[in-house]
Amino acid sequence: MERGVIFMTEEKARHYAKTLARNMGITFYAVRSREGRFLAVQIPSDDCAILAKVAPPRSVRDIRQFRREHARRAA
């Protein structure tokens, strides 16, 4: 294992995928790699397990709902 490497939890990978999808406007995936690491990726490889597919919000209403959920978690 490399020194100084911090691994994401599954929950954090899902959160990153959701945030990236919203902010970048493209689909992201939360995956578990063959080595057991949790990641947020744009294009999952064939040898990983897809845990969640997160599409960007389609409307202003979806964006507002995301912001409300995010604000509740931050509080």
Q: What pLDDT does residue 33 have?
A: 94
- The pLDDT of residue 4 is above 70: no
Specify whether the CB–CB gap between 44 and 73 falls below 8 A.
no
| Cβ contact 10:38 at 8 Å | yes
> Could you report the per-residue pLDDT of 10-69, keeping only the tens digit for each?
999 999 999 999 888 899 999 999 999 999 999 999 999 999 999 988 766 776 777 787
What is the rounded end-to-end Cα distance, in angstroms, of the chain? Answer: 35
Do residues 50 and 17 lie in contact, with contact meaning Cβ atoms separated by under 8 Å? no
